Amino acid sequence: MSLIDLIPLPVRAWAVALGLLLIAGAGAAGAWVIQDWRYGNELSEQARKSSEQATARVEAVLATLTAEQETRRALEARLQADDRTHYKELSDAQKAQQHLSDRLATADVRLSVLLAATDAGRTSCDGVSAATSAGGVVHGGTRAELDPAHAQRIVSITGDGDQGLIALKACQGYVRGVWEASQRQAPP
């Protein structure tokens, strides 16, 4: 006797349909499990690749940041060296100006200006050239000594001009350094 013979005849059709349904359900469930396994493997592979790509991008960004920081540190070091040079030049110029000003104040040094002569061959009334004097031999044209107060003002003005030129040189060096650094960083 078979298994189908044990089922009563009016229910037999339903039992066969139920059996077929169970077989189809088991096949669908098996296919579902296999698809889940396959898609799970694909998703894990995609996640691994995505993670590797993200890691590569992060490493590239970190390398770029490190290079930028090194460039910035090098630029800062150059600018500090330029600042020290600028400060030294400025203090040397101020010391030289102060030294000259002190020498002018003590009449150790006298400033003089060259006077314009209308006649280059002009001589004094005793036949001696106007360019020579009893105190020393002066070659060139006639000179006039400046008042010490005016000499101090001239030294102050030229000192301010020297300081301005030194500051301008420092600013130009700073701008040049920043510009060169930006040119090295610019993509080709």
pLDDT at 52: 95
**pTM reported for the whole predicted model:** 0.47
Residues 66-96 pLDDT 10s: 998 998 898 889 889 888 988 898 888 888 8
> Per-residue pLDDT for 2 more than 60?
yes
Q: Scanning the structure block, which residue is given the tokens 């020297």? A: 162
Contact of 109 with 157, CB cutoff 8 Å: no
Residues 39-64 pLDDT 10s: 999 999 999 999 999 999 999 999 99
Question: What's the distance, CA 137 to chain centroid?
Answer: 57
Mean pLDDT of 116-132: 51
Q: Where are the domains of the chain?
A: 92-116+136-188
Question: What's the distance, CA 105 to chain centroid?
Answer: 46
pLDDT at 187: 62
Encoded tokens for 22: 């169970």
Residue by residue, what is the 3-state secondary structure of 92-110?
HHHHHHHHHHHHHHCCCCC
- Rounded Cα–Cα distance for residues 91 and 98 (Å): 10
When pLDDT is cut at 50, 70 and 90, the band that residue 139 belongs to is low
When pLDDT is cut at 50, 70 and 90, the band that residue 188 belongs to is low
> Per-residue pLDDT for 21 more than 90?
yes
More confident residue, 23 or 113: 23
Query: End-to-end distance of the chain based on CA atoms, in angstroms?
Result: 89
> Per-residue pLDDT for 125 more than 50?
no
pLDDT at 106: 73
HSE-up of residue 61 (Cα within 13 Å, Cβ side):
6
